[in-house]
Amino acid sequence: MKKKQIFEFYPLATDTKPSVPVVEGSVHAGFPCPVDDAYLQQPIDLNKELIKHAASSYLIRVVGDSMIDEGIEEGDLLVVDRALLPTEKTLSVCMFRGEFALKRIVQSEGRVSLMAGNKKFFCLRLATAILFNFGQQH
């Protein structure tokens, strides 16, 4: 039986200049208001806004629900940057038992734990850890 993939990996296309129009002003989470072309600003380059280190970044599509309490759901597309070192304040792509996993790395009392963002999942406490930098989600 074939194992289900945890993530789908995608390389970044850095030779394109995708742009999305920006609406001037703020948005309220109440009564919907139609956007008129008069409010549109210059388009923004999503590569410039979302990618800090293009050569070390990639996209992954999330499979599963282990990070739903972090606001990350199945099907979400994440930008991951291998140039950024993992910290306890960020989510990181980790390798655990031969599989990739998106977790929060927590270090305490000389031990490393991989924390899921869903109370249904166990904390993975590692007796020893060799941390490879597969990247940090941002």
Q: What is this structure's pTM?
A: 0.65
Task: Enumerate domains of the chain plus CATH numbers.
Answer: 7-13+36-137 (2.10.109.10)
Is 66 one of the annotated active-site residues of the chain?
Answer: yes
Q: Average the pLDDT over 47-67 and give the result.
A: 85
Q: Please, which residues have CB within 8 angstroms of residue 85's CB and are 6 or more apart in sequence? A: 133, 136
Q: Is 3 a catalytic residue?
A: no
pLDDT band of 1, cuts 50, 70, 90: very low
Higher pLDDT, 17 or 73: 73
Q: Using the predicted structure, report yes or no on whether residue 67 has a pLDDT greater than 90.
A: yes
At 100-135, the pLDDT tens digits run 889 998 888 778 888 999 999 988 887 665 555 555
Beta strands in 23-132 (DSSP E): 44-45, 57-62, 77-81, 91-96, 99-108, 111-115, 124-126
Task: Given the residues 3, 66, 113, 119, select the one marked as catalytic.
Answer: 66
**Tokens of residue 33, six digits:** 């208001």
Pick the catalytic residue from 103, 113, 119, 120.
103
pLDDT above 70 covers a percentage of the chain that reads 62
